[in-house]
Amino acid sequence: MKNLSLILNVVLLIAVGALYFMHFSENPDKEQETPEEKTSVEYTVAYINSDTVLQNYDYFKKIQKDLQDKQAKFEADVQNRAQGLQREVSDYQQNAGNLTINQAKALEESLMQKQQNLQLYQQRLAQDLMTEENKVNQELYKRITEFLKDYGQKNDLQMVVKFNQGSDVLFATEGMDITRDVITGLNQEYSSSLETVSGDSTSAE
């Protein structure tokens, strides 16, 4: 899930840059104001530790396990096919002396074609897995950002940034940390969605 962390880093970096620009850009109308007339604009900002959120988000745990299971299945499938091909190669090597030149040539070409097909199959599985991972990353990003948007509106927040090692935020008070609230809210939302799906399935029966 490193892709999600990278996406969040980029988005939050842009958000911080936008806040900086909004806060420090000059307004032409303010040139005529006296110091007493100038007013400061305050922004309500909170932060989350994205690593902690992902580690404790039940939906993320599920999709991560699903991807790992699918990857293990793909790898086992490719390994079984490779072992089967290797047995055919071994059989050919053991019986090559009993074959005519044309038979040996035909068998070699067949084995080479099977090897190429196996490589293409492996590449296709890898591409399918990457496509699936990108898809679930997009869904994960959508779930988290939509939740944060709703959470921000309910709690009068103008911005939520990522604050953990490697982020651009170097200091923030603990009172700005909403990580636990976000984890609780995300898991409650996910649990409710499962109950809804379960209820729909029961009704359909």
Q: pLDDT of 114-155, one tens digit each?
A: 999 999 999 999 999 999 999 999 999 999 999 999 999 999
* Rounded CA separation 10/36 (Å): 38
- Position 21 pLDDT exceeds 60: no
Quote the pTM value.
Answer: 0.70
* Rounded CA separation 152/43 (Å): 12
Mean pLDDT across 74-90: 95
User: What value does the mean pLDDT of the chain take?
Assistant: 82
User: What are the residue ranges spanned by the domains of the chain?
Assistant: 2-204
pLDDT at residue number 112: 96
Specify the higher pLDDT residue, 17 or 138. Answer: 138
Which fold would CATH assign to domain 2-204? Protein Binding, DinI Protein; Chain A (3.30.910)
- Position 202 pLDDT exceeds 70: no
Quick one: what percent of the chain has pLDDT higher than 70? 75
Could you read off the pLDDT of 26-71 as tens digits, one per residue? 444 544 544 444 445 567 999 999 999 999 999 999 999 999 999 9
pLDDT at residue number 41: 55
Could you read off the pLDDT of 151-194 as tens digits, one per residue? 999 999 999 999 988 888 888 899 999 999 999 999 999 999 89
